[in-house]
Structure 1
């Protein structure tokens, strides 16, 4: 089996209480951080890779005047892919942070609004979606279907905040006429009372983590890529636009940077194809120009 890798970047604000939140957490163009979305895109481009930037468009409702359009233009100029990321609390209700906190009708409107923003900024509707904090439920998939988005990557097995009721699988599957491309997970050893169990025990403890540059050291992430390669059609790797700066100190996260570069080198050395959701849409026979369907109101 030929495994193809998607390098996904959740592109969003982390620290809401700072005046340069967008520049720091998203763009990476603040005095304290130069390793945000633009830097990530440049690193990917240097390898000839296109990443998938899941953009939380709803931050534009909270951080008015932030250059979201300019960001989209810059990413597209660098050959990157931009898809929809939903953090609805940024624009609708600060007390309801997750998509699963909203009704089907509300989620349908949230997705429609986000699609319209991306269409305005990029010239086309998104092909794929990921719920912020993986906070999706089955109504989320129904809302995507109504709006013409047929690819989702919100399912994170074992994540309490993810309300999609599916079993453990790294393979794509279809639900409510939407293709789910799960967040790829790998078993890892656990630590108890300060003791780290040997790597071979990982299958017994059933601790699963995503292929995240912040969650895995260079050895772990490369080992996981090698082990999963050839076993699944699509492998999802993960990072944030703010992954390379420590939260409280504004210092570079050197381990995350090393994990990112190690992963990119491995993908290049193993000649593993790096693809986007638009390419997956073509493979699965999905319309890559998701056009919202007319909503019939009672």
Structure 2
């Protein structure tokens, strides 16, 4: 019987039992925090897949999308998880996505399903559909991705974080074992339905939930500004601070986000995310309390009780105003908000000086001042 067919006959629980038995003699328990590096493989709504999936940009001698990431991850000792949006097949066919999948697997990384179902199933994110339709959407994507990759598809992330409790029920019914759609720092449907803002691993509807890790960049009294741990939008210093905080708490996992277009978002080469990733990799390798793991490796350890961690489900690290300010300078040209934040101290000083000058002028023009000899 072919291996693919054999694996597909296992239910999710049976698969984990199989992995647990197979791993008993070579996978000891670990007491460190797992670092998961995850990539959403997709293009923009009207995007060019050769640019936004493969990363072919005119100002780079090599593609900076999935092929580059797969190779670079391997060089840095990272086993990545690539969530592939196969529904884009309706827009531009099979060629680009199948090339990306080939590179992902060639470097030993993992494949998961990413659901932006609009190109194939019409308008609306996944959670806007009823349970029965969600099952159809997920089964279609799972089967196509399994056929292209030759692997059972067991993990999922909803596009735009558009998942809800129906999504988790559908995933469980279809044999998935884990989901990474929970993003409590953004107004996602699932984060509004669950009773706690999980920021670490949890089991919901018999599905292992791997939230996209988030942190508070600014806290002022009751106000807090939250941000996802994203290679593009977070600075290296902020991500290192989050990793260190989870390691000190013996948290179970930090889930880091990327996109296939992280190095080509504006149609030009941008190697800053790759530089950040190298710094993160060095930090993880030098910290005995942190360890890069693939999602399936982590799930195997989780289900067989090999992870000696303390789920920090309500723990939200704070990186602070100073790191937020430094990030604004790092991303100065990437939007008006960064420029405004970077220039705000100079603006505040200028405003204060203007007030002082006006007050001084007012005092000099007063009748009392004019009457003085």
What TM-score, normalized by structure 2, do the two folds share?
0.68
Alpha-carbon deviations, 1:140-169, whole Å to 9, x = none?
A: 001101100020110111311333422222
The residue correspondences of 1:16-27 to structure 2 (distance < 5 A) are 16-17=46-47, 21-27=48-54
Cα distance in 1 for partners of 2:287, 2:221 equals 26
Unaligned runs of 5+ in 2: 1-30, 305-373
Q: Secondary structure at the match of 1:235?
A: strand
Q: State the Cα RMSD in Å.
A: 1.9
CA-to-partner distance for each residue in 1:101-153, whole Å, 9 max, x for gaps? 11101100111011111111111221211000101011100110110002011
Q: Secondary structure at the match of 2:93?
A: coil
Aligned match of 1:290 = none
Contact kept, 8 Å, 1:127 with 1:281, in 2: the verdict is no
Contact 2:59 2:269 in 1 (8 A): no
Matches within 5 A, 1:266-285: 266-271=283-288, 272-285=290-303
Among 40, 51, 59, the alignment partner of 1:10 is: 40
Alignment match, 2:134: 107
Select 1:126's aligned residue among 118, 128, 153.
Answer: 153
Greater shift, 268-277 or 106-115, is seen at 268-277
Q: Distance in 2 between matches of 1:255 and 1:238?
A: 15
Residues 52, 265 of structure 2: 8 Å contact kept: no
Aligned counterparts of 1:78 and 1:130: Cα–Cα separation in 2: 21
**Higher mean C-alpha deviation, range 158-167 or range 102-111:** 158-167
Partner-residue secondary structure (3-state), 2:189: coil
d(CA) in 1 for partners of 2:189 and 2:276? 26
Contact 2:112–2:153 at 8 Å: present in 1 too?
yes
Structure 2 residue 198 is matched with structure 1 residue 159: no
The question of 1:260 aligning with 2:277 is answered yes
Deviation at 1:32, TM superposition (A): 5.3
Q: Secondary structure at the match of 1:4?
A: strand
User: Structure 1 CA distance, aligned partners of 2:107 and 2:70?
Assistant: 7
Return the alpha-carbon distance in structure 2 between the equivalents of residues 141 and 77 of structure 1. Answer: 30
CA distance in 2, matches of 1:48, 1:258: 15
Change (3 A) 1:227 1:284: closer
The answer on whether the counterparts of 1:37 and 1:241 sit within 8 Å (CA) in structure 2 is yes
Check the 8 A contact 1:244/1:252 in 2, yes or no. Answer: yes
Alpha-carbon contact 1:72-1:122 (below 8 Å) kept? yes
Q: d(CA) in 2 for partners of 1:11 and 1:158? A: 21
Out of 225, 232, 241, which is 1:214 matched to? 232
Q: Whole-Å Cα distance in 2 between the matches of residues 65 and 246 of structure 1?
A: 22
CA drift at 1:230:
3.9
Higher Cα Rg, which structure = 2
Alignment of 1:237 with 2:256, yes or no, is yes
CA contact (8 A) 1:4 1:274 kept: yes
Residues 1:177 and 2:206 are matched in the alignment: yes
2:229 is paired with a residue of what secondary structure? strand
Given that residues 5 and 234 in structure 1 are in contact (C-alpha distance below 8 angstroms), is that contact kept between their aligned partners in structure 2? yes
Residue 169 (structure 2) pairs with residue 142 (structure 1): yes
Shift of 1:3: 0.4
* Structure-2 residue corresponding to 1:75: 104
Range 77-86 or range 167-176, more displaced: 167-176
Tell me the distance in 2 between the aligned counterparts of 1:202 and 1:145.
40
CA distance in 2: counterparts of 1:265 and 1:11, whole angstroms: 25
Moved more, 131-140 or 33-42: 33-42
Q: In the superposition, relative to structure 1, how do residues 38 and 202 fare at CA in structure 2: closer, same or farther (>3 Å)?
A: farther
**Which one has the bigger helix percentage?**
2
CA contact under 8 A between 2:185 and 2:214: conserved in structure 1? Answer: no
Q: CA deviation at 1:51?
A: 0.4
SS of equivalent residue, structure 1 residue 229: helix
Counterpart of 1:293 in structure 2 is none
Equivalenced residue count is 268
Contact 1:187 1:203 in 2 (8 A): no
